[in-house]
Amino acid sequence: MRKQVHKRDNSRCQVRLSDNSRCGEIAIDVDHIRAGDDHRLINLRCICDWHHNKKSAAEGAQAYNAAIRKSKAKFRRTEQHPGLL
Ligand SMILES: [Zn+2]
Protein backbone atom coordinates (compact mmCIF):
# COMPACT_ATOMS: atom_id res chain seq x y z
CA MET A 1 0.00 0.00 0.00
CA ARG A 2 2.79 2.41 0.96
CA LYS A 3 4.51 1.63 -2.31
CA GLN A 4 1.36 2.39 -4.27
CA VAL A 5 0.96 5.74 -2.54
CA HIS A 6 4.59 6.65 -3.22
CA LYS A 7 4.21 5.67 -6.85
CA ARG A 8 0.99 7.67 -7.27
CA ASP A 9 2.33 10.74 -5.48
CA ASN A 10 5.82 10.44 -6.97
CA SER A 11 7.18 10.40 -3.38
CA ARG A 12 6.39 14.10 -3.08
CA CYS A 13 4.57 15.71 -0.18
CA GLN A 14 0.90 16.22 -1.11
CA VAL A 15 0.00 18.63 1.68
CA ARG A 16 -1.76 21.73 0.37
CA LEU A 17 -0.18 25.03 1.29
CA SER A 18 -2.14 28.18 2.06
CA ASP A 19 -2.02 29.22 -1.62
CA ASN A 20 -3.48 25.78 -2.50
CA SER A 21 -0.29 24.57 -4.19
CA ARG A 22 1.27 21.31 -3.06
CA CYS A 23 4.27 21.24 -0.76
CA GLY A 24 6.24 19.01 -3.17
CA GLU A 25 9.08 18.17 -0.77
CA ILE A 26 10.56 14.67 -0.90
CA ALA A 27 8.27 12.51 1.18
CA ILE A 28 9.35 9.52 3.24
CA ASP A 29 6.14 8.90 5.14
CA VAL A 30 2.61 8.06 4.14
CA ASP A 31 -0.08 9.94 6.01
CA HIS A 32 -3.77 9.35 6.67
CA ILE A 33 -5.63 12.38 5.37
CA ARG A 34 -8.40 11.69 7.86
CA ALA A 35 -7.12 10.02 11.01
CA GLY A 36 -8.60 6.61 11.69
CA ASP A 37 -8.78 3.18 10.16
CA ASP A 38 -9.44 4.17 6.58
CA HIS A 39 -6.46 2.64 4.78
CA ARG A 40 -7.79 3.06 1.27
CA LEU A 41 -5.52 4.78 -1.24
CA ILE A 42 -7.90 7.71 -1.39
CA ASN A 43 -7.26 8.45 2.30
CA LEU A 44 -3.47 8.14 2.02
CA ARG A 45 -0.91 10.59 0.75
CA CYS A 46 2.81 11.11 0.81
CA ILE A 47 3.97 13.60 3.41
CA CYS A 48 7.36 15.19 4.07
CA ASP A 49 9.05 15.04 7.47
CA TRP A 50 8.27 18.65 8.22
CA HIS A 51 4.55 18.38 7.58
CA HIS A 52 4.39 15.02 9.33
CA ASN A 53 5.95 16.49 12.47
CA LYS A 54 3.71 19.51 12.29
CA LYS A 55 0.61 17.34 11.92
CA SER A 56 1.61 14.93 14.69
CA ALA A 57 2.21 17.85 17.03
CA ALA A 58 -1.19 19.33 16.20
CA GLU A 59 -2.93 16.00 16.75
CA GLY A 60 -1.08 15.54 20.03
CA ALA A 61 -2.14 18.99 21.22
CA GLN A 62 -5.72 18.32 20.17
CA ALA A 63 -5.82 15.06 22.10
CA TYR A 64 -4.27 16.79 25.10
CA ASN A 65 -6.82 19.61 25.03
CA ALA A 66 -9.69 17.14 24.62
CA ALA A 67 -8.43 15.19 27.64
CA ILE A 68 -8.22 18.38 29.69
CA ARG A 69 -11.75 19.39 28.69
CA LYS A 70 -13.01 15.93 29.58
CA SER A 71 -11.38 15.93 33.00
CA LYS A 72 -12.75 19.43 33.68
CA ALA A 73 -16.24 18.43 32.57
CA LYS A 74 -16.16 15.49 34.96
CA PHE A 75 -15.47 17.71 37.94
CA ARG A 76 -18.67 19.05 39.38
CA ARG A 77 -18.76 20.77 42.71
CA THR A 78 -21.72 19.35 44.59
CA GLU A 79 -21.39 21.45 47.70
CA GLN A 80 -21.12 25.15 48.06
CA HIS A 81 -17.66 26.45 48.67
CA PRO A 82 -17.21 26.94 52.46
CA GLY A 83 -16.06 30.48 51.76
CA LEU A 84 -19.55 31.34 50.60
CA LEU A 85 -21.20 30.44 53.89
ZN1 LIG B 1 5.35 18.97 3.05
Digit-coded pLDDT (tens) for 9-68 = 999 999 999 999 999 999 999 999 998 889 999 999 999 999 999 988 988 998 999 998
* Residue 80: pLDDT over 90: no
Give the C-alpha separation, 78 to 19, whole Å: 51
Asked if pLDDT for residue 85 goes beyond 70, the answer is no
Q: 22 CA distance to ligand 1 centroid (A)?
A: 8
Alpha carbon of 27 to ligand 1 centroid (Å): 7
Q: What is the spatial distance between Cα 8 and Cα 62, in angstroms, rounded to a whole number?
A: 30
The Å distance, Cα 17 to ligand 1 centre, comes to 8
Q: What is residue 81's predicted lDDT score, i.e. its pLDDT?
A: 80
pTM of the model: 0.72
**C-alpha 7 to ligand 1 mean position (Å):** 17
Q: Determine the Cα–Cα distance for residues 59 and 85; give it in Å rounded to an integer.
A: 44
Q: From ligand 1's centre to the CA of 66, what distance in Å?
A: 26
